[in-house]
Amino acid sequence: MMQKHLEKKESILKRGWWLILLILASLLAPFIFTEFYLNILCEALVMSLFALSFNLLFGYMGQLSFGQAAFFGLGGYAVAMLMTKVALNFWLSLLAGPILAALIGLIVGYFCVRLRGIYFSILTLAFGQLIFVIVFKWHNFTGGDDGIQGVFPPDFLKSATVYYYLILLVFLASAFILWRIIHSPFGQTMKAMRENSERTEFLGINIARYQLITFVIAAAFSGLAGAIWVPFYRSVAPGYLTWIKSGEPVMAAILGGSSTFFGPILGMFVMTFFHAYVLGFTHFWPVIMGTLILIIIFLLPGGVLGFIQEKLKERREREKQET
Partner 1 sequence: MMFLQTQGITKEFGKLRAVNQVSLDIRKGDIHAIIGPNGAGKSTYFNLITGYHQATFGKVIFKGEEITHLPAFRRCKHGITRSFQITSIFPKLTVYESVLMGLLVHRGVTLNFFSTSKKFFEEEVYRILEDVGLADQADTLGDSISHGDKKRLELGITLGTEPELLLLDEPTCGMSPEETESTMIFIRKLVEEKGLTILFTEHDMSVVFGIAKRISVLHQGTLIADGKPDEVRANDEVQKIYLGGTA
Among 111, 186, 273, 307, binds partner 1 (CB under 8 A): 186
Query: H-helix or E-strand containing 150?
Result: none
Positions in 191-250 near partner 1 (CB under 8 A): 191-192, 195-196, 198-207, 210
Residue closer to partner 1 by CB (options 15, 183) is 183
The minimum distance between CB 200 and partner 1, in angstroms, equals: 7
Total length of the chain: 323
89, 159, 188, 291: which one binds partner 1 (CB under 8 A): 188
Select the span of 74-82, 95-103, 109-117, 187-195 touching partner 1 (CB under 8 A). Answer: 187-195
CA pair distance 117, 46, nearest whole angstrom: 27
Nearest approach, Cβ of residue 74 and partner 1 (Å):
23
Minimum CB separation of residue 104 from partner 1 in Å reads 21
Please enumerate, as own/partner, the contacts of 184-190 that have beta carbons within 8 Å and a separation of 24 or more.
186/210, 186/213, 187/60, 190/56, 190/60, 190/61, 190/214
Least distance between partner 1 and beta carbon 310 (Å): 12
Which string of x and - marks every residue 11-50 that binds partner 1 (by CB under 8 A)? ----------------------------------------
Picking from 45, 100, 54, 80, the residue whose alpha carbon sits closest to that of residue 223 is: 100
Are the C-beta atoms of residues 65 and 117 closer than 8 Å to each other?
Answer: no
Asked if 48 and 265 touch (Cβ cutoff 8 Å), the reply is yes
How many whole angstroms separate alpha carbon 51 and alpha carbon 272?
Answer: 12
Smallest Cα–Cα separation from 81: which of 144, 160, 34?
144
What's the closest the beta carbon of residue 259 comes to partner 1, in angstroms? 8
53 binds partner 1 (CB under 8 A): no
Going by their DSSP bridges, the two strands 235-236 and 148-149 should be labelled as antiparallel
Q: Which residues have C-beta within 8 Å of that of residue 304, sequence separation ≥ 6? A: 255, 256, 257, 263, 266, 267, 270, 296
Least distance in angstroms from the C-beta of 55 to partner 1: 15
* Identified binder of partner 1 from the candidate list 99, 181, 276, 289, rule CB under 8 A: 181
Least separation, in Å, of the C-beta of 35 and partner 1? Answer: 38
- Residue 81's nearest CA partner among 232, 215, 236 is 236
- Per the CB < 8 A criterion, the answer to whether 219 and 109 are in contact is yes
Alpha carbon 274 to chain centroid, angstroms = 18
Residue with Cβ nearer partner 1 (159 or 188) = 188
Region binding partner 1 by CB under 8 A among candidate stretches 29-37, 69-77, 88-96, 175-183: 175-183
CB of 264 to partner 1, least distance (A): 18
Give the interface size with partner 1 as a residue count (CB under 8 A): 24
Outline where DSSP puts E strands in 171-258.
235-236
Pick between residue 210 and residue 240 the one whose CB is nearest to partner 1.
210
> According to CB under 8 A, which one of 63, 93, 189, 272 is a site residue for partner 1?
189
Mark residues 94-133: x for contact with partner 1 by CB under 8 A, - for none.
----------------------------------------
Which positions touch partner 1 (CB under 8 A)?
A: 180-181, 183-189, 191-192, 195-196, 198-207, 210
